[in-house]
Amino acid sequence: MKVALPARAKLNLDLQVIKRRADGFHEIRTHMQSVALHDLLQAEPASNTALEIDGLSVPQGADNIVLKAHAALEHVVGRELPTHFRLHKGIPPGAGLGGASSDAAAALRALKFVHGLETDITKIAHSVGADVPFFVAGGCALAEGTGERLSPLPTEHAWYAIAWPHIELSTATVYGAWDEIRGEPPNELLQAAGRADLRVREFADRLGRDWQMTGSGSAFFRRCADEEVALKAIASLDCWTTVTHSVGVWA
């Protein structure tokens, strides 16, 4: 049996970095909202596990988080789960939109379905990535700790314009820069992202104050009154852009 699941993106409506922990990870406080922009993951039982990818370029092979999520679930259930995956990438990588984490959560959900598992994947999700637990259900939530403590919130319908300057940022590098310079609301990683790559600071300056960075960057979003206003907001930009809207929980 085959299943196809949208792996939706997220926006960090704000982001506060609380502190760096002794283990090197950072505690945060952020309101996360899933949006309609998505990758598409197909999965079906197979004789051997394989992953095909098209669309935007992302890591292949064992370095892809879909296969990491697959391996984590196999470890928990104690048996092989041979699966053929096909992933179409529509979310820019290294943009702070959560594409990889959403792919991982979609893989865990798909594996439960195609292999008839009763396993609680929420306990596995955090071991795969800090944002993966959020994408198990999506919607809107307050995320605390390293992202594992989630408090679901009502989803408010909203339209967003998104702009990405084709710059892939390393989350670890951005947080390392935050250790040196800290930051300011609404996203306390903005200054750190600009230090990690000067082009991000220049991009933010060109967009103006109405735009806000999501996650550790490098994508920016602007909340708009409706779809028409959002389309006008990106009309003159010479980078990757899209218009999307908020979506509620899916599980």
| Catalytic positions | 10, 131
Residues 6+ apart with CB under 8 A from 169: 94, 95, 96, 193, 196, 197, 200, 216, 217, 218
DSSP state for residue 189 in the 8-state scheme: T
Residue 161 sits at φ, ψ, to 5 deg, of -95, 140
Cα 165 to Cα 99: distance, rounded to the nearest angstrom: 16
Name the region of 157 (left: φ>0; alpha: ψ -120 to 50; beta: rest). beta
Residue-wise DSSP of 138-171 = BSEEEEEETTTEEEEEPPPP-EEEEEE-S-PPPH
Contact present, 219 and 193 (Cβ < 8 Å): no
97: three-class secondary structure by DSSP: coil
Cα 165 to Cα 136: distance, rounded to the nearest angstrom: 28
Torsion 121-124-126-132 (CA) sign:
negative
